[in-house]
Amino acid sequence: MLSQKTIDIIKSTVPVLEVKGTEITTVFYKNLFTNHPELLNIFNHTNQQKGRQQTALANTVLAAATYIDKLETIIPVVKQIAQKHRSLLVKPEHYPIVGEHLLGAIKEVLGEAATEEIIGAWADAYGVIADVFINIEKEMYDNAATQKGGWAEFKEFKVIEKVKESDVITSFYLIPNDNSVVPTFKAGQYITVRSKVPGEKFLLNRQYSLSDSPGKEHLRISVKREAEVNQPDGIFSNYLHEHIQTGDTLDITAPAGDFILNNKKESPVVFISGGVGITPLMSMVKDIAINQPNRKVEFINASRNGKLQAFEEELRFLEEQLTNYSLSFIYEAPSEEDLKNPNFKKQGYIDVKWLQNNVKSINADYYVCGPVPFLKAIINGLKQLGIDDAAIHYEFFGPSMSLES
């Protein structure tokens, strides 16, 4: 338990963190990787180079300071982060290293304003916060390892099929290389894929949503090839597209994530995806088709054009499996052929007016996934239409960011 004095000191730093938070976390990561380069085998280098990880950590530190006397308030956020930590193999022994460098970054950025009293309070607070993460993550590690077909860390899976889904998305079907049982998972979850990429000093990790329904004898990920091979985004995706073939192996962690389908409800579901954000929603809609075929489903996917539209045949086949199903494709720049597609519904972007006129479900749950600008537009649009926050579920690809307009 933290003393009231420590709580008051931590809360007094909130205004400073609001201004200096990202500067502190930027210094933190720079020093951390300078002193412990081996941790680059864990962290996503792309998110580091884009600054998203620094911003996400700054927001987490700010939330922890704001609610230091009510940490239960931020448990949902902690659990979301802990899922990613478990999937990346963040362990208890990493927390003291992180704590040391976080306090050091606070001192470096704030200078004389970081008094011994403030640093001492933050050291105590960090210890409490770290314990919360460690305990939650321990339970997640135990659950991953003890489920049927489960495992604790990385496990070698073999690619048994490679399928081109669109001009930019390719699916990889994976089974355990030791022929053990494929574990089940919750529709919407992801795995971490790790590999040594030629020319890269450290192992690279990327998290990919599982794009098929649970209960199959394989896992499936569907990877978008990023345009620039030499840019951070493109290194791993291009490696998978160009170099990983049927018969090759990849190391993966057990499924993780809390952006999952609530299959205990019977309420209508509206899926709205942009680009490769379709992947977790494919797992969800296929799960509904198997287990809740009478549940009303509206599926809306936005792409640039039909050539970039993944899973069209699978989505159309759902019409035979679901009793109340509608499918809409929104294309920014449709071809002449796209205009004739019976599922093509709008040229341009999904906007509030289109949603208002075309989404017919009452009291539905909305599942949204796509790039950050897409998420901002859709979620703010749904709120404008009066959709309750509790009915809107969404997933970031990468560290969480603000969705405020």
Alpha carbon distance 107, 119 (integer Å):
8
DSSP code for 295: S
Question: Please, which contacts does 35-44 make with residues 24 or more away whose CB atoms are closer than 8 Å?
Answer: 35/101, 36/97, 37/202, 39/94, 39/97, 40/201, 40/202, 41/202, 41/203, 41/205, 42/88, 42/89, 42/90, 42/205, 43/88, 43/205, 44/205, 44/206, 44/207, 44/398
> What Cα–Cα distance (Å) separates residue 356 from each residue in 59, 214, 304, 384, 386?
33, 32, 22, 10, 10
> What Cα–Cα distance (Å) separates residue 401 from each residue in 49, 141, 166?
15, 26, 28
Q: Please state, as a whole number, how many other Cβ atoms lie within 10 Å of the Cβ of residue 139.
A: 12
Do strands 325-331 and 297-303 pair parallel, antiparallel, or not at all (unpaired)? parallel
Dihedral of alpha carbons 237, 239, 244, 250, sign: negative
What residues does 394 pair with on adjacent strands? 368
Dig out the tokens for 364 from the structure. 């539905």
DSSP code for 210: B
Q: Are 29 and 83 in contact (CB under 8 A)?
A: no
> What Cα–Cα distance (Å) separates residue 304 from each residue in 221, 308, 344, 382?
21, 6, 12, 22
Dig out the tokens for 122 from the structure. 């933050």
Alpha carbon distance 176, 158 (integer Å):
6
- Compute the residue count for the chain: 405
Alpha carbon distance 25, 53 (integer Å):
9
What residues are annotated to the active site? 95, 137
Alpha carbon distance 79, 73 (integer Å):
12
| Cα angle value 53/57/61 (rounded, 5°) | 175
